[in-house]
Structure 1
Amino acid sequence: MRAVLCSSFTGPKDLRLSEIAEPKPAGDEILIDVHAASVSFMDQLVVSGLYQMRPPTPFVPGTEASGVVASVGDKVTKFRPGDRVACSSWTGGYAERMTAKESKSVRLPDGVAFEAAATVLHNYGTAYYALVERARAQRGETVFITGAAGGVGLAAVDLGRHLGLRVVAGVGSGDKAALVRDYGAGDVVNYRSEDLRDRIKSITSGDGIDIGFDNVGGAIFEQMARLMKWGGRLMPIGFTSGEIPQIPMNLPLLKNYSILGVFAGAWAEKFPEEAARGNDNLMQLLAGGQIRPHIDSVLPLEEVGDAMRAVANRTVQGRIVLKIR
């Protein structure tokens, strides 16, 4: 079968399209004929050796995909051949066939396209875990989302709107403002050209933000730590800036706010039943048109390197999807 192989942690330039043997599902896994796979910032980090886990090489990248079940392991009870599914996995998505844990797969409702389905579990799953499970967001609260036009960020804007939050979107360039407004942001802050502290104080009438959803890290997170409301929740989601922030711990002490780590993948490993229920909820929201993943472009598998470079350069709004079948 055709698959993209990563043989060294040297980034997208050394990925190669190859012919390899198809995988075989373990007892708790399903084998999927992959139709579409999404390209995330995490995928780019993994092939560049910059993520917190390194798969043994060579490996097939790709953390999220959708397709049709080809066969199932002998312990699988939820799926059967022919089911349309989306799945998440640490690796394997950029291939004609992949395996995934039963607990990390979800059946697609009728009418949900493979391309859209391949963008939900990581993006919206992270946003759901952060806003619903970790922050316990309440209708009417103010959330400030950085990297708001990216995959996870835009999902958080969309889901925040659905949850009835007041969404403030942080972007790094003015050309992204229209997209985040279209997805539900009531206010937009360009933190490259505007003073973040002044804008947040103006938007919140000096009260600060209830929920900080930060994809960027570095100096942005350090500024957010000074903009929290009493009893707020500040969540590090990722570090696309490449800088892991450090903050004085008297800041959360003075305002009694919490810093909540968000690692949705680890949560799904430790609590698979809760994560599976969250995935089912998201697919129902997708089928009902209550969330709407934004697909920047659909590319053939051969252009995976270009897709990853675009993600790394932050020129992508939403997700790039690879069309495999």
Structure 2
Amino acid sequence: MKAIVCHELNGPAALRLEDIPEPSPAAGQVRLRVRACGVNFADSLITRGQYQVQPEPPFSPGFEVAGDVLELGEGVTEFAVGDRVIALTLHGGYAEQAVVNVNRCVAIPPAMPYQHGAAFPVVFGTSHIALWHRARLQAGETLVVHGASGGVGLTAVAIGKQLGATVIATASSPEKLDIARQHGADHLINTSHDDIRLRIKELTEERGADVIYDPVGGELFNASLRAIAFEGRILVIGFAGGTVPQIPANHLLVKNVDVIGLNWPAYAERHPTVMTESFRILLDWYLAGAIQPYVSEIYPLEEAVDALHQVVSRKSTGKVVITVGD
């Protein structure tokens, strides 16, 4: 079978398309025919040896796939051969086949295409658990979403609206802001030239934002800390801007601010009932037409490195997906 393989931890440029042996499922696992794989910023981190759970080379990147069950490991009764599933992989999604623990698989609704399935779990799962479970966003509150046209950003906009919040979207160009507006954002801030703190204060009548969703870090985090409301919550989602902020604790004290981290994959192992309930809610919303993945670009497996470059360079909007085979 074909797979994109990382032999050295020096970034996406070292990835190569190779023929490798088909995997075999162990007890409690399933072997999948991968139809589509979502592309995430973390795929670049794992190729650099910078991911929080780092495999030794050789390995394939890819944390989320949609496909068909080809083989059941010992003891697996939840699925049958031929079932369509979404799966969260520890890595290995950039391949024609993948082996996944059965507790990381969810049945795909018949109405959901593979490309939507592969674009769904990481971005919607991250934003939903962040806003619903961690920040406990309430109807009527004000939510600021940084990087609002990106993969997780757009889902945070959509979920914020679904939870009843007023959503302020930030992005670096009018084109990206327009995409956020199309997905429900109430107000827009252009980070290339607007004073972020001032605009958030203006849009909230000087009160500040109740919740700020930050997958970017750097100067955006610093502006967020100055524009948060009393008892506000800042969600630390990632550092796509490249700089990990250092938080002055006295600022947290003055406004009684919560800074809340989110390691979304950890829920699969440490608190699976939260992830299961989150997926149930999200799939219900999807089937009702309330949310839908925005797949902006699709690449074949052979062009997976180009797909990853699009995400890492922050040139993409929404979700980038790799399709595998037919």
Which TM-score tier does this pair reach, normalised by the shorter chain? Answer: over 0.9
Report what 1:263 is aligned to.
Answer: 263
Is the Cα contact below 8 Å between 1:31 and 1:69 reproduced in 2?
yes
Q: What is the deviation of 1:235?
A: 1.0
Distance 1:288 1:14 in 2: 42
Distance 1:156 1:59 in 2: 31
Q: Which residue type is aligned with residue 130 of structure 2?
A: A
1:237 aligns with 2:237: yes
Distance 1:188 1:75 in 2: 51
Report what 2:211 is aligned to.
Answer: 211
Is the Cα contact below 8 Å between 2:39 and 2:62 reproduced in 1?
yes
Q: Which residue type is aligned with residue 266 of structure 1?
A: A
**1:4-28, Cα deviation, whole Å (9 max, x unpaired):** 1011112222211111111111212
Distance 2:219 2:51 in 1: 20
**1:278-312, Cα deviation, whole Å (9 max, x unpaired):** 22322232222111111111111011111111111
Distance 2:25 2:277 in 1: 23
Is the Cα contact below 8 Å between 1:29 and 1:100 reproduced in 2?
yes
Q: Which residue type is aligned with residue 218 of structure 1?
A: G
Distance 2:156 2:88 in 1: 18
* Paired positions, count: 325
Is the Cα contact below 8 Å between 1:103 and 1:276 reproduced in 2?
no
More deviation, 191-200/270-279: 270-279
**Secondary structure of the equivalent of 1:122?**
helix
Is the Cα contact below 8 Å between 2:148 and 2:177 reproduced in 1?
no
Report what 1:75 is aligned to.
Answer: 75
Report what 2:322 is aligned to.
Answer: 322
1:223 aligns with 2:229: no
Q: What is the deviation of 1:83?
A: 1.0
Report what 1:11 is aligned to.
Answer: 11
Distance 1:126 1:182 in 2: 21
Is the Cα contact below 8 Å between 1:233 and 1:259 reproduced in 2?
yes
Report what 1:85 is aligned to.
Answer: 85
Report what 1:192 is aligned to.
Answer: 192
Q: Which residue type is aligned with residue 91 of structure 1?
A: H
TM-score by length of 1: 0.97
Q: What is the deviation of 1:40?
A: 0.7
1:303 aligns with 2:312: no
Unaligned runs of 5+ in 2: none
Is the Cα contact below 8 Å between 1:104 and 1:272 reproduced in 2?
no
Q: Which residue type is aligned with residue 209 of structure 1?
A: A
Distance 1:300 1:163 in 2: 35
1:247-262 equivalence runs, <5 A: 247-262=247-262
Q: What is the deviation of 1:265?
A: 0.8
More deviation, 75-84/13-22: 75-84
Q: What is the deviation of 1:218?
A: 1.2
Distance 2:303 2:284 in 1: 31
**1:253-286, Cα deviation, whole Å (9 max, x unpaired):** 1111211111111122201232122223222322
TM-score by length of 2: 0.97
**1:40-93, Cα deviation, whole Å (9 max, x unpaired):** 111122113332332110001111110011122223232121111111112011
Distance 2:238 2:53 in 1: 14
Q: What is the deviation of 1:177?
A: 1.1
Distance 1:28 1:278 in 2: 23
1:102-251 equivalence runs, <5 A: 102-251=102-251
Q: Which residue type is aligned with residue 165 of structure 1?
A: A
Distance 1:229 1:302 in 2: 47
**Secondary structure of the equivalent of 2:110?**
coil
Q: What is the deviation of 1:151?
A: 0.5
Report what 1:273 is aligned to.
Answer: 273
Report what 2:95 is aligned to.
Answer: 95
Distance 1:44 1:62 in 2: 10
Q: What is the deviation of 1:205?
A: 0.6
Q: Which residue type is aligned with residue 181 of structure 1?
A: R
Identity over the aligned pairs, expressed in percent?
38
Distance 2:217 2:281 in 1: 29
Report what 1:51 is aligned to.
Answer: 51
Distance 2:216 2:4 in 1: 28
Distance 1:249 1:96 in 2: 48
Q: Which residue type is aligned with residue 132 of structure 1?
A: W
Q: Once superposed, which parts of structure 1, at least 4 consecutive aligned residues long, lie more than 6 Å away?
A: none
Distance 1:93 1:286 in 2: 23
Distance 2:270 2:324 in 1: 31
**Secondary structure of the equivalent of 1:33?**
strand
Report what 1:26 is aligned to.
Answer: 26
Q: Which residue type is aligned with residue 139 of structure 2?
A: R
